[in-house]
């Protein structure tokens, strides 16, 4: 998830690009860069000047004071690293010959394209997938297609994946060409000047007249106007809209809080985690060059904190059932204090959104000392935990700003499903046909998630009904038990209401004493082998006048008779159900907190990344 902006007009581009990037920095801050050209030819040598560097925007601003970039057409980028570590060389914009490119997204077939281009003499100066597109456009230009729009169109036919590109050519210095597939892109309309950006926030101080570019559309932007076509060159007529949001609202994409925005981003984030990792041809999983030797792995030990610990508990269920490798899960903050027995046969999987949690880092150091190999599952490329580990799996969820983790959690769940399938295929425990079914279901998951996150209105009503309660209980069995823990954690950290997550079967061993007519009990009861037992637990709660909110599978005609309120999620394979059942719990916690008026994006006493022990 990167931020992109482009400008064509009569004013100096750099200050406009920098001000836009400042508003886009929430999309990534591994590096920043601009490229500017002067169509009048008064300044410069007719070539676009690129100024870029690793680090936050402030570092780029500093660099620009020493290396100014004059000119009235330009593009700017703020990077969230996916392919290629954060570095000066991997910063955007990228150049090939006369072509300059910025990109948000992932080119899925980048390895094959890179090999093809290298074989025919291309030299690359970065590890990014983006640079490949610059080379493709340059080749199209050289092959006699002088018009930039046509060159971009031909190059688009060769790439697969998600992208928003902006392309500039030294030979057409007053033109930007942009294209969109799955990554956001908006065009801003000014007076004798026009803009493109990944988010309206970036251009809102300049214009409120915008066109949201649709999937599969290309835009040619000049001072005189914008032309929109599909990827085949067929013109599309689009009516501009006038934005009425304030700049702050716009940064949150029109949502009241970052957390709500991030809840809604989850289908997209999960799709991004899957990009390039599902190999349908071989019914297998590709792990980005991670080379795990299942022969060596006798046991897997997950270590993590908080929400990442809950994802690890689901991981235990998945790896044991699909790969039949024994798994343990430990709280990173406890791991070191029991002198854990570890050795060469252990694979330690350290799960951390931020990649900076000190407890998890210290646990990794301990595991390394004892000879275990370490795999990090993290959302932040080149953060400390992946760097400390032997292998890194990045979830590609994009920056998570809300302190309460949502999209990081669901993408961690996807990472553990992929790991379990990968190992299961190699240990032989997972038959090819079952792997095929699971992979097909994984690809359908973003659409099913969309269904659930759009059912916020029901959760809002329930939040109002139960939001004044003094406490909540969350119950689940099997892979739904960690989801009960996660539901309770979300509710308590956001709304400050005490909540407990319990294994449904444990209720009768103690917590049942809490139940009376004032206690809402959220029960995770999706279709599956535990269903009947969970329904019995529901009955035990109701017999003691507890209020039951059941999360069940669409089409379940029975559950309504056992619950006060029912929240339905689409059907899916047992292994993928946690990704769907956690969504209403996130929304419930969000709306209860909103109802109570707490500080949702920055709950009291918490920090996004916990770097103390």
By annotation, the residues acting in catalysis are 2, 608
Q: Where are the beta strands (DSSP E) in 438-529?
A: 471-476, 498-503, 520-525
> What minimum distance in Å lies between the beta carbon of 408 and ligand F6R?
6
Contact region with ligand F6R (CB under 6 A), list: 245-253, 266-274, 303-311, 563-571: 303-311
H or E stretch covering 230? strand 226-230
Site string for ligand F6R, 9-28 (x = CB under 6 A): --------------------
User: Which of 429, 432, 459 shows the shortest CA–CA distance to 593?
Assistant: 459
User: Which of 293, 367, 315, 306 shows the shortest CA–CA distance to 336?
Assistant: 367
> What minimum distance in Å lies between the beta carbon of 300 and ligand F6R?
18
Strand partners, 35: 50, 75
> What minimum distance in Å lies between the beta carbon of 490 and ligand F6R?
6
Binders in 372-431 for ligand F6R, by CB under 6 A: 404-405
* Per CB under 6 A, 610 contacts ligand F6R: yes
Whose CB is nearest to ligand F6R? 306
What torsion, rounded to 10 degrees, do the Cα atoms 433, 395, 157, 445 define? 50
431/440 Cα distance (integer angstroms): 14
# residues near ligand F6R by CB under 6 A: 15
Confirm if 79 and 92 have CB atoms less than 8 A apart: yes
Nearer to ligand F6R, 82 or 308 (CB): 308
Cα Rg of the chain (Å, integer): 25
* Per CB under 6 A, 73 contacts ligand F6R: no
Helices (H), ranges, 477-548: 481-495, 531-543
Q: Is the dihedral of CA 50, 51, 57, 61 positive or negative?
A: negative
Nearer to ligand F6R, 35 or 352 (CB): 352
Residue choice 90, 91, 308, 577 for contact with ligand F6R (CB under 6 A)? 308
> What minimum distance in Å lies between the beta carbon of 590 and ligand F6R?
12
Confirm if 480 and 588 have CB atoms less than 8 A apart: no
* Phi–psi pair at 189, nearest 5 degrees: -110, 120
Confirm if 379 and 394 have CB atoms less than 8 A apart: yes
Contact region with ligand F6R (CB under 6 A), list: 34-42, 164-172, 208-216, 302-310: 302-310
Residue choice 14, 266, 354, 495 for contact with ligand F6R (CB under 6 A)? 354
* Per CB under 6 A, 357 contacts ligand F6R: yes
* Per CB under 6 A, 306 contacts ligand F6R: yes
Residue choice 149, 352, 537, 577 for contact with ligand F6R (CB under 6 A)? 352
> What minimum distance in Å lies between the beta carbon of 522 and ligand F6R?
17
Nearer to ligand F6R, 17 or 499 (CB): 499
* Per CB under 6 A, 307 contacts ligand F6R: yes
Site string for ligand F6R, 247-286 (x = CB under 6 A): ----------------------------------------
* Phi–psi pair at 144, nearest 5 degrees: 110, -10
What torsion, rounded to 10 degrees, do the Cα atoms 111, 115, 121, 122 define? 0
503/501 Cα distance (integer angstroms): 7
578/412 Cα distance (integer angstroms): 11
Percentages of the chain per state (helix, strand, coil), in multiples of 5: 40, 25, 35
* Per CB under 6 A, 162 contacts ligand F6R: no
* Per CB under 6 A, 598 contacts ligand F6R: no
CA angle 45, 50, 51 (to 5 degrees): 125
567/74 Cα distance (integer angstroms): 49
* Per CB under 6 A, 222 contacts ligand F6R: no
Contact region with ligand F6R (CB under 6 A), list: 63-71, 98-106, 301-309, 551-559: 301-309
Strand partners, 417: none
> What minimum distance in Å lies between the beta carbon of 31 and ligand F6R?
21
Both structure tokens of 611: 């770097």
Nearer to ligand F6R, 148 or 351 (CB): 351
Residue choice 353, 373, 384, 537 for contact with ligand F6R (CB under 6 A)? 353
> What minimum distance in Å lies between the beta carbon of 364 and ligand F6R?
11
Contact region with ligand F6R (CB under 6 A), list: 218-226, 348-356, 416-424, 496-504: 348-356
Contact region with ligand F6R (CB under 6 A), list: 129-137, 350-358, 438-446, 534-542: 350-358
Nearer to ligand F6R, 133 or 393 (CB): 393
* Per CB under 6 A, 314 contacts ligand F6R: no
Which residue reads 């970039």 in tokens? 69
Q: Quickly count: other Cβ atoms within 10 Å of residue 220's Cβ.
A: 18
Nearer to ligand F6R, 31 or 383 (CB): 383
104/79 Cα distance (integer angstroms): 8
> What minimum distance in Å lies between the beta carbon of 586 and ligand F6R?
10
548/539 Cα distance (integer angstroms): 9
Nearer to ligand F6R, 155 or 308 (CB): 308
Binders in 475-534 for ligand F6R, by CB under 6 A: 489, 493
Which residue reads 């038959």 in tokens? 431
Binders in 200-219 for ligand F6R, by CB under 6 A: none
Cβ neighbors of 211 (< 8 A, separation 6 or more) are 186, 187, 189, 226, 228, 238, 239, 240, 241
Give me the residues that bind ligand F6R (CB under 6 A), please: 305-308, 352-354, 357, 360, 404-405, 489, 493, 609-610
């Amino acid at each position: 998830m990167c931020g992109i902006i482009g400008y064509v007009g009569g004013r100096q581009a750099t200050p406009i690009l920098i001000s836009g990037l400042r508003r886009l920095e929430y999309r990534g801050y591994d590096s920043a860069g601009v490229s500017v050209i002067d169509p009048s030819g008064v300044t410069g040598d007719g070539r676009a000047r690129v100024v870029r560097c690793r680090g936050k925007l402030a570092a780029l601003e500093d660099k620009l004071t020493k290396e100014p970039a004059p000119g009235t057409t330009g593009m700017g980028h703020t990077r969230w690293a996916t392919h290629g570590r954060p570095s000066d060389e991997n910063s955007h914009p990228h150049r090939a010959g006369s072509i300059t490119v910025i990109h948000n997204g992932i080119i899925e077939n980048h390895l094959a394209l890179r090999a093809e281009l290298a074989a025919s003499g291309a030299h690359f100066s970065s590890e990014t997938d983006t640079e490949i597109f610059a080379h493709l456009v340059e080749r199209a230009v050289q092959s006699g297609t002088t018009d930039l729009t046509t060159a971009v169109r031909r190059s688009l036919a060769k790439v697969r994946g998600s992208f928003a590109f902006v392309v500039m050519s030294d030979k057409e210095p007053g033109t930007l060409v942009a294209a969109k597939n799955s990554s956001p892109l908006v065009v801003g309309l000014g007076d004798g000047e026009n803009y493109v950006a990944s988010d309206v926030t970036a251009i809102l101080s300049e214009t409120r007249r915008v066109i949201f570019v649709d999937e599969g559309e290309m835009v040619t932007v000049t001072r005189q106007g914008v032309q929109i076509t599909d990827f085949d060159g067929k013109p599309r007529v689009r009516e501009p809209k006038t934005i009425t949001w304030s700049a702050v609202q716009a940064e949150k994409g029109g949502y009241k809080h970052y957390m709500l925005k991030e809840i809604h981003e989850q289908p997209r984030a999960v799709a991004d985690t899957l990009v390039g990792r599902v190999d349908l041809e071989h019914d297998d999983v590709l792990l980005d060059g991670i080379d795990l030797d299942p022969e060596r792995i006798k046991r897997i030990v997950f270590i993590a904190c908080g929400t990442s610990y809950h994802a690890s508990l689901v991981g235990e269920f998945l790896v044991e059932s699909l790969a039949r490798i024994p798994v343990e899960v430990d709280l990173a903050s406890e791991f070191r204090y029991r002198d854990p027995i570890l050795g060469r046969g252990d694979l330690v999987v350290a799960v951390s959104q931020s990649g900076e949690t000190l407890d998890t880092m210290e646990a990794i150091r301990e595991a390394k000392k004892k000879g275990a190999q370490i795999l990090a599952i993290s959302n932040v490329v080149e953060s400390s935990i992946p760097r400390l580990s032997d292998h890194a799996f990045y979830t590609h969820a994009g920056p998570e700003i809300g302190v309460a983790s949502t999209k990081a959690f669901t993408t961690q769940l996807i990472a553990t499903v992929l790991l379990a399938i990968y190992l299961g295929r190699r240990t032989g425990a997972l038959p090819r046909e079952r792997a095929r079914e699971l992979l097909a279901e994984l690809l359908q998951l973003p659409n099913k998630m969309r269904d659930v996150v759009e059912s916020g209105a029901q959760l809002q009503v329930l939040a109002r009904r139960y939001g004044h309660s003094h406490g909540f209980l969350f119950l689940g069995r099997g892979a739904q038990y960690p989801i009960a823990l996660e539901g309770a954690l979300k509710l308590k950290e956001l709304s400050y209401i005490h909540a407990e997550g319990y294994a449904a079967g444990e209720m009768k061993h103690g917590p049942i004493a809490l139940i009376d007519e004032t206690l809402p009990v959220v029960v995770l009861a999706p279709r599956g082998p535990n269903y009947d037992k969970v329904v019995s637990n529901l009955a035990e709660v109701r017999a003691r006048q507890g209020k039951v909110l059941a999360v069940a599978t669409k089409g379940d005609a029975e559950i309504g008779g056992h619950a006060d309120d029912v929240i339905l999620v689409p059907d899916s394979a047992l292994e993928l159900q946690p990704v769907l059942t956690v969504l209403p719990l996130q929304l419930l916690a969000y709306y209860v907190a909103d109802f109570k008026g707490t500080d949702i994006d920055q709950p009291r006493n918490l920090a996004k990344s916990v770097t103390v022990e």
